[in-house]
Amino acid sequence: MKSHTRYLALQTPARRGFVNITPEVREAVQQSGVQEGLVLVNAMHITASVFINDDESGLHHDYEAWLEQLAPHAPTSHYRHNDTGEDNADAHLKRQVMGREVVVAITAGDLDFGPWEQIFYGEFDGRRKKRILIKVIGE
Amino acid sequence: MKSHTRYLALQTPARRGFVNITPEVREAVQQSGVQEGLVLVNAMHITASVFINDDESGLHHDYEAWLEQLAPHAPTSHYRHNDTGEDNADAHLKRQVMGREVVVAITAGDLDFGPWEQIFYGEFDGRRKKRILIKVIGE
Amino acid sequence: MKSHTRYLALQTPARRGFVNITPEVREAVQQSGVQEGLVLVNAMHITASVFINDDESGLHHDYEAWLEQLAPHAPTSHYRHNDTGEDNADAHLKRQVMGREVVVAITAGDLDFGPWEQIFYGEFDGRRKKRILIKVIGE
């Protein structure tokens, strides 16, 4: 069994944002030499997500508006977590809707994707350095 | 390490629906010959889900009503994604709540399930051909 | 390839609750002898979740209040699933928001975690015996 580990560092300029990380994941898969296996991609922080969906800016606007409706940032005093001095309780909730991680099949040395699948990092409490983990296993 | 890949094709007659795909996943696991490992099952389309829950029609009605409340289909003009000519922005949102994929343990050559676990495909923009990926790895 | 399977049994005293199971998962990883691989941790019941987030009581209060707002327990007659004699339809919905499972990378023999990641069992229909599955694979 082969394995390969890669950490991506990034920092979004705004509190919230979506970043397409498919090229970095594909590169890690290719570096691993794995032909058949799985790749796990996860946020290493608990106010961020990794998810798979469409690379379409209108949709990303819709996600942003919808998540803000489901779990509003303000009033920050609404959340007990924010009594600790944080203002990011909403980000912990939004991350649960969008998920922490994805697991993607590797077939014939590449991501085994449908026609529109792209991997995104979703940031809900940005403007600070965050990390993403890519773990490849297989043969 | 062994691996096995299977693609399921299906088309739901209505826009939304839930299909129990446990038999197909179990068959793929048995064909793989894997005794100990993992199986990944994911929608290859971004307006559909794979999830694990109960095979009970009342519950499926509740999921349908609840998802429609959380992310209504209409008015379609509410969503920027639909400015592209699509009318399925709500389906991209519903899929995030229900998830893209499941990973299930294989123990002694079978799905290692609790008493009520069943694997479902959840369609939120049907009436067209879609695919599901089953990837088995292990030994 | 090595594999290791462990079942955790637990029963929460109240209908809903969050339990930190990180020590048990870490112990299973160490017992497996796997240095590089993946560990799957999932609820074996369909009214419960396994998820990764912060071990902070204010946040857990916020999750509880938010999930009750998204998918209220009462009136129980609101849900068709409850026509079967159950009163736990809301628990099946809450579990989908929080997720069934997590997959965590194992690097150098330990959970490859960011600074705040902790694994939780989320119970939404407790006061009865439930099980969690831990499956380790790798080398």
How does DSSP classify residue A28? H
3-state secondary structure of C2: strand
Closest chain C residue to the Cα of A80, Cα to Cα: C58
Distance from CA of A58 to the nearest CA of B (A): 4
Residues of chain C found within 8 Å of residue B120, distances taken between Cβ atoms: none
Q: What are phi and psi of C126, to 5 degrees?
A: -90, -155
Q: Which of B38, B99, B105 sits opposite C99 (nearest CB)?
A: B99
Centre a 10 Å sphere on the Cβ of residue B134 and count the other Cβ atoms it contains.
24
Q: Distance between CA atoms of B54 and B17, rounded to whole angstroms?
A: 14
Distance from CA of A25 to the nearest CA of C (A): 15
pLDDT tens per residue across span A86-115: 999 999 999 999 999 999 999 999 999 999
Tell which of B40, B103, B124 to mutate to test the C interface (max C CBs under 10 Å). Answer: B103
Query: Average pLDDT of each block of 10 consecutive residues along chain B (139 residues)?
Result: 97 97 98 98 98 97 98 98 97 98 98 97 97 98
How does DSSP classify residue C56? -
Four-CA torsion B72, B20, A117, A60, nearest 10 degrees: 20
What are the residue ranges of helices labelled H in chain C?
Answer: 22-32, 57-70, 89-98
What are the residue ranges of helices labelled H in chain A?
Answer: 22-32, 57-70, 89-98
Contact B37 C100 (CB under 8 A): no
Neighbours of chain A (3+ CB pairs under 8 A): B, C
Q: Distance between CA atoms of B133 and A33, rounded to whole angstroms?
A: 22
Contact B113 C44 (CB under 8 A): yes
Q: Distance between CA atoms of B42 and B40, rounded to whole angstroms?
A: 7
State in Å, rounded, how far the first CA of chain C is from the last one: 5
pLDDT the model gives residue B13: 96
Burial profile C90-115: b = 16 or more Cβ within 10 angstroms, e = fewer: bbbbbbbbbbbbbbbbbbeeebbbbe
Q: What average pLDDT does range C27-55 have in this prediction?
A: 98
Q: Which chain C residues have any C-beta within 8 angstroms of a chain B C-beta? A: 1, 3, 5, 38, 40, 42-46, 70-71, 79-84, 89, 92-93, 95-97, 99-101, 103, 131, 133, 135, 137
pLDDT the model gives residue C33: 98
Maximum distance among all Cα pairs of chain B, rounded to whole angstroms? 51
> Residue C32: pLDDT band by 50, 70, 90 thresholds?
very high
Residues of chain C found within 8 Å of residue A82, distances taken between Cβ atoms: 58
pLDDT the model gives residue A5: 98
In this structure, are strands B17-20 and B110-111 parallel, antiparallel, or unpaired? unpaired
Distance from CA of B118 to the nearest CA of C (A): 9
Question: Is the interface score ipTM higher than 0.95?
Answer: yes
Half-sphere exposure of B114 (CA within 13 A, CB side): 22
Q: What are phi and psi of A82, to 5 degrees?
A: -75, -10
Place of tokens 């048995």: B30
In this structure, are strands B110-111 and B101-107 parallel, antiparallel, or unpaired? antiparallel
Residues of chain B found within 8 Å of residue A32, distances taken between Cβ atoms: none
Alpha-carbon torsion (B50, B54, B57, B61), positive or negative = negative
pLDDT the model gives residue C95: 98
How far CA A109 is from CA of A52, A124, B6, C103, in Å, comes to: 19, 32, 16, 21
pLDDT the model gives residue A95: 98
pLDDT tens per residue across span A10-64: 999 999 999 999 999 999 999 999 999 999 999 999 999 999 999 999 999 999 9
> Residue C39: pLDDT band by 50, 70, 90 thresholds?
very high
Nearest to C118 by CA among C45, C56, C40: C56
Closest chain C residue to the Cα of B49, Cα to Cα: C96
Nearest to B139 by CA among C26, C4, C30: C4
Q: What average pLDDT does range C123-138 have in this prediction?
A: 98
**E-strand spans in B70-129?**
101-107, 110-111, 118-123
Q: What are phi and psi of B101, to 5 degrees?
A: -150, 160
Q: Between A and C, how many CB-CB pairs are < 8 A?
A: 94
Which tokens sit at A134? Answer: 């890519």
Q: Distance between CA atoms of B131 and B135, rounded to whole angstroms?
A: 13
No. of H helices and E strands in chain B?
A: 3, 8
pLDDT the model gives residue B68: 98
Arithmetic mean of pLDDT over chain C: 98
pLDDT the model gives residue C20: 98
